[in-house]
Structure 1
Amino acid sequence: MNAPRFSNAARYWRSPLVPDADMVTAEYYDHEFAPHWHDAYTVPVIEAGAECYDYRGSRYVAEAGSVPVINPGELHTGARAVDAGWRYRVFYLPVPFVENLAREMSGRAAASPWFAAGIIRDSDLARRLVAAHRALERAGQAASADPLAAETALVDAVSTLLARHALERPSPAPLAADAVRVATMKARLADDLLEPVTLAELARTVGLSMFHAARLFTRETGLAPHAWRNQLRIVRALPALRAGASIAHVAAASGFTDQSHFTRHFKRAFGVAPGRWR
């Protein structure tokens, strides 16, 4: 039996966490892209089906789970490679954003990162990119979403892409232990658990780039900044739970998006839902 075909539907959107970037969530059945180019790095992840495209004189077929990166200014096409069509998520990342991240990683100025023609088949990278894309999408749809988690996921995904697959791969500069900076970041995250904090704001408090702030914090604590903050929220919620406060009230007072968000993180930490724990 043939797989159900995709529709022709696309949604372009932006996030204030990545100025000048465009993101796309789309699926196509019979749409064909004419030869065109973008002034940004095109970083798609094929989620289902398959896409074929012409690029640098060759034809490629990108299947589910692959990452067919296109460099800025380079001509390419796009069409279905299987009868059902394809579904994908795409980042159009501004050149200055990618250049700046590469510079932060290596600690020195370098030429614009460049990627070889061909398809990147790296399931871990694809997972990170999809997670970042979804986190940015959620952050734009809900006022209570966690910008820190979205920004951290984006830096993680793009730095992984650069470190593994750029032609001149930036090697992260050595990072010395720095208990004072880590303590300062912890204090900023703990100050007001209801206040949204971005990775950029956290990095500015200690005079580091976003990449190095996230890297230092994660190495010294074992948790990414947003994960550490959520753990602190759970710990601070325990007295109210013990006292009999409603789970919905505790979730809101602790800075979680809603009761289900709180319950999900609580269960990961304690192995049971908060009501059962109580």
Structure 2
Amino acid sequence: MRRFRSLLLESIRIQLPGLRIHTVAVHRHLPEITEVEPHRHRWSQVLLYLDGEGRQHVAGSEAAIGPGSVVALPPGVDHAFVRGRQRSPVCLMINFRLRKSALHEPVVCVLNRSELGQVRQWLTAVSRRPVEKDGDVGLESALHLLEILKICLRAAGWLVRGSAGQPGEKSGVVNQWIARIDLQEPLDGLVRRSGYQRDYLNRLVKRETGLTLGQYRSLRRLEESKRLLAQGLRISSVATAVGLPDQNYFARWFRRQTGQAPSRWLGRGPGAPAPRDQSGGNQKVT
């Protein structure tokens, strides 16, 4: 049964050491099709949703899908899709073979707005250039498709940022993700945007920091709170900046971490000695 209307469908031949792209397609789901049944492939696949919404099922897990969502699938992974109530999804599909891709895990993640906008521009450029009958593409189109794949695989953690297209260690990606943690975002939001399951993400973060995600974010909040208080910011402003907008709750939380009230840290300035910890022990991270 036909499930898609193809807006762009090409048998592509792009080959580099360790990588071969053989199909690039942009599909719009037909209105009468509400779901794509579970299936798997012998090759790796990246799905990038350009429009629409739904639920992606991957290897027994489920994730919400919207514009910018990326699904990275190694060979042999069962996956399915259930459409949402809004307009039919439009999805970019790239089928490829990547050396050691079976060592990677399936991931659902999200591109930022800038990345998604760049992908749309490259796809428009590719669609305007012909593909030879044997699958050869021009140099410019090949470069655009490789950049699209690289952006998606980086977001999924299959490549380390700054690599030249070779699979990298996941720890490099995790460290970069950790460095960009938004202190104001709830933990559920951080987990969802990472594309990993919570337990697995906690293991990755703990391997790099020795702390769970919640503990590490609490430590980052404490460091930022001290920095902002030392600059003389009002306690209410500091509380909001670190994602704890209830000033009373923030004051209790800060005292639990340091044994001191936030007011003791106000205006200390950089390089000033820290107030003595009356608790007589190490700082507690929760």
TM-score, length of structure 2 as denominator length = 0.44
- Indicate the structure with greater helix content: 1
TM-score, length of structure 1 as denominator length = 0.45
- Indicate the structure with greater strand content: 2
